[in-house]
Amino acid sequence: MARSRRRPTCADSGGGRDRGRVLAEVDHGEVFGFLGPNGAGKTTMVRTLGTLLAPTSGAATVAGVPLTSENGVEIRRRIAIMPESPGLYLRLSVAENLACFADLYEVPDPHDRIGRVLRAVDLADRANDACGALSKGLRQRVALARALLSDPQLLFLDEPTAGLDPAAAREVLQLVTALSQRGVTIFLTTHRLEEAERLCDRVAILNTTLRTIGRPAELREQLFATTLTVRTLGALPEPGRVFAGLPAIDSWRQDGPATYVLAVSDQAVAAPAATRALVAAGAEVLSISQSHPSLEEVYLQLIGQDQEAGQG
Partner 1 sequence: MRVRSRRVRAIVRKELGEYRHNGFIIWTMAIFPLIFLIQPLVVVFALPASASNQLEHGHLLLYMLGIPALVPAAVAADAVVGERQQGTLEPVLTTPIRRQELLLGKALAALVPSVAIAYAVYAVFLACVGLFAQPAVASALLQAPDLLAQLLFTPLLAGWSIWVGIAISTRASDFRVAQQLGILASLPTAVVAALIAFDVIHPTLGLAIALAAALLLGNRLGWRIMSATFDRERLITSTK
Is residue 155 a contact point for partner 1 (CB under 8 A)?
no
CB of 147 to partner 1, least distance (A): 9
Q: Exposure pattern of 58-70 as b/e (b: 16+ CB <10 Å)?
A: bebbbbbbebeee
Q: Choose between 208 and 294: whose C-beta lies nearer to partner 1.
A: 208
Give the three-state DSSP class for 290: strand
Binding residue for partner 1, selected from 7, 39, 90, 289, defined by CB under 8 A: 90
Question: What residues pair up with 203 in beta bridges, in sequence order?
Answer: 33, 214
Dist CA 206 CA 23 (whole Å): 11
Q: Mark the segment that binds partner 1 (CB under 8 A) among 69-77, 198-206, 230-238, 249-257.
A: 69-77
Work out whether 105 is an interface residue with partner 1 (CB under 8 A): yes
Starting at the earlier edge strand, list the strands of the sheet with 79-82.
79-82, 154-158, 185-190, 31-35, 202-207, 209-214
User: Does residue 52 belong to the site contacting partner 1 (CB under 8 A)?
Assistant: yes
Rounded CA separation 77/257 (Å): 61
How many residues of this chain bind partner 1 (CB under 8 A)? Answer: 31
Q: How far is CA 3 from CA 10, 30, 219, 221, in A?
A: 5, 10, 21, 25
Site for partner 1 in 131-150 (CB under 8 A): 143, 146
**Of residues 8, 15, 41, 50, which one binds partner 1 by CB under 8 A?**
50
Check binding of 81 to partner 1 (CB under 8 A): yes
Sheet holding 65-66, edge to edge: 23-26, 10-13, 59-62, 65-66
Binding mask 241-280 for partner 1 (x = CB under 8 A): ----------------------------------------
In the complex with partner 1, which residue's Cβ is closer, 99 or 262? 99
Please state, in angstroms and rounded to a whole number, the distance separating the CA atoms of residues 193 and 16. Answer: 22
Q: Is residue 127 a contact point for partner 1 (CB under 8 A)?
A: no
Interface with partner 1, residue 92, by CB under 8 A? yes
Judged by CB under 8 A, the residue of 42, 76, 141, 192 near partner 1 is 76
d(CA 261, CA 178): 39
By the rule CB under 8 A, 85 interacts with partner 1: yes
> Closest separation between CB of residue 14 and partner 1, Å?
19
Contacts with 255 (C-beta within 8 Å, 6 or more apart), sequence order: 229, 261
**Binding window for partner 1 (CB under 8 A); candidates: 91-99, 164-172, 197-205, 293-301:** 91-99
The string of DSSP letters for 103-114 reads HHTT-SSHHHHH
Q: Footprint of partner 1 on this chain (CB under 8 A)?
A: 47, 50, 52-54, 73-74, 76-77, 79-81, 83, 85-92, 96, 99-101, 103-106, 143, 146
